[in-house]
Structure 1
Amino acid sequence: MKKLDYMNRIYDSGALAVVRASTDRVIEIAEGIVKGGVDVMEVSYTIDSAANSIKILKEKFGDKLLVGAGTVLDGETAKDAIKAGAQFIYSPMFDTEVAKLCNQYQIPYAPGCTSVTEAITALRAGATFVKIFPYGGIVGPDLIKTMKTPIPYLPLIESGGVTVDNITDWLEAGTDIVGIGGALSKGTVDDIAQSAQQFRNKIDEYRE
């Protein structure tokens, strides 16, 4: 099942790059993160060229990079992303139609949820991971720890405020996957590769 394969690959990476950029820049960022050991990227639909970027990344990198679509708010956008080749869907909100489409096409869905009730509702609808948004980045790792205490099986992504200096705190609190924006989007390809390698090392060290 490809959904299981994609889910495991996201978890094994432990990190994904959250990217909002033009197609040319998206390719540069992809080159950098793959070189640095992070092989999962989300291309945000806040950029008009998102679908084209996903298609090009799939053609250029093949199995070297798992490519998803981000900021997917409705079923129409989800269909467009899946048609373009998105291998997972990432969103700041939960939508039942998007959940149904992801289950139908067997790709992981990671919606943003603001409460425990919403997170459990999303899981029951078939969400693969849950992103605590936007409070995770505001409150910090203690929020993750608080949610994981009564619900230890909750598969959580944190996508706000994660840095090389604090990533271990997030992982120790119970975060399963971290989404990283600016730290994996700035500088040259080599700069990005160096940053990606730092995150890769931190994740590997924690998991060992």
Structure 2
Amino acid sequence: MSDLTSTDLFDLSPVVPVVVVDTLDQAVPVARALADGGVPVVELTLRTSVALDAIRAIAAEVPEVVIGAGTVTSPALAKQAAEAGARFLVSPGATPSLLAAMRETGLPFLPGTATVSEALAVLETGHTAMKFFPAEASGGAKFLGSLPSVLPDARFCPTGGITLANAPSYLGLANVGCVGGSWLTPADALAAGDWDRVTALAAATAALR
């Protein structure tokens, strides 16, 4: 079981960095760079072959960072991420079997939704915290701003097309707890080992709250 709840995830940072590491040696330095910039959370996506090992490394070597697994697309991945040391799970969508598997890990999780029907399906399971993905392509802040009147209990972490420029339009909404963004960890910065740049980008998000 986790010491966090799903709604706690909204309070860790206004921006959750969505991180893709191509090599294992990027994992610990990028997590430390984000923490140095005041961002104590990482959603490391399960899109590369080293992702699970990267989660293990960050969990072991950077305990001050709350490490989570993103792009959880199957029950098997949910279990593997939990076993690797992830402290929360994020999925791009939500099927009944995936929802059940994430719940069974005992970890907090943000299931992906993009429509009112999908959000209702998640709410029917008793879960109120969810991801809104792909945010910009699915109606953006205007769409999310129209939901509280019909889905008053739902809270979201929008991800997909979020930038430093448009993040405030989401964070100003009552039903948005945080946003997810990849701009804090550009691929070229990771490839070059430019950890000072990552720290500076992380520090810039402090002004968003």
* Same fold, TM-score > 0.5, yes or no: yes
SS in 1 for 2:146: helix
Whole-angstrom CA distance in 2 between matches of 1:3 and 1:105 = 13
Kindly indicate whether the alpha-carbon contact (under 8 Å) linking 1:69 and 1:88 is maintained by their aligned counterparts in 2.
yes
| Equivalenced residues, count | 201
Q: Which residue of 2 aligns with 1:41?
A: 42
Q: Which residue of 1 aligns with 2:26?
A: 25
1:12–1:19 Cα change, 3 Å: closer
Kindly indicate whether the alpha-carbon contact (under 8 Å) linking 1:32 and 1:189 is maintained by their aligned counterparts in 2.
yes
Q: Which residue of 1 aligns with 2:196?
A: 190
Kindly indicate whether the alpha-carbon contact (under 8 Å) linking 1:23 and 1:53 is maintained by their aligned counterparts in 2.
yes
Give CA-to-partner distance per residue, 1:43-83, whole Å, 9 cap, x none.
Answer: 11111111100000011111x11111111111111111111
Kindly indicate whether the alpha-carbon contact (under 8 Å) linking 2:2 and 2:108 is maintained by their aligned counterparts in 1.
no
TM-aligned CA deviation for residue 109 of structure 1:
1.5
Kindly indicate whether the alpha-carbon contact (under 8 Å) linking 2:5 and 2:108 is maintained by their aligned counterparts in 1.
no
Whole-angstrom CA distance in 2 between matches of 1:6 and 1:58 = 19
How does the TM-score come out when normalised to structure 2?
Answer: 0.87
Confirm whether residue 199 of structure 1 aligns to residue 200 of structure 2. no
Q: Which residue of 1 aligns with 2:125?
A: 125
Q: Which residue of 2 aligns with 1:157?
A: 157
Q: Which residue of 2 aligns with 1:50?
A: 51
TM-aligned CA deviation for residue 29 of structure 1:
1.8
Indicate the RMSD between aligned Cα atoms, in angstroms: 2.0
TM-aligned CA deviation for residue 128 of structure 1:
5.3
TM-aligned CA deviation for residue 200 of structure 1:
2.0
Whole-angstrom CA distance in 1 between matches of 2:201 and 2:118 = 33
Kindly indicate whether the alpha-carbon contact (under 8 Å) linking 1:96 and 1:125 is maintained by their aligned counterparts in 2.
no
Structure 2: unaligned runs, 5 residues or longer: none
Whole-angstrom CA distance in 2 between matches of 1:137 and 1:117 = 18
Confirm whether residue 100 of structure 1 aligns to residue 106 of structure 2. no
Give CA-to-partner distance per residue, 1:100-150, whole Å, 9 cap, x none.
Answer: 23323321111211211211211332545222222x222321111012332
Whole-angstrom CA distance in 2 between matches of 1:26 and 1:45 = 13
Aligned sequence identity (%): 25
Q: Which moved more, 1:29-38 or 1:186-195?
A: 186-195
Please state which structure has a larger fraction of its residues in helix.
1
Structure 1: unaligned runs, 5 residues or longer: 204-208
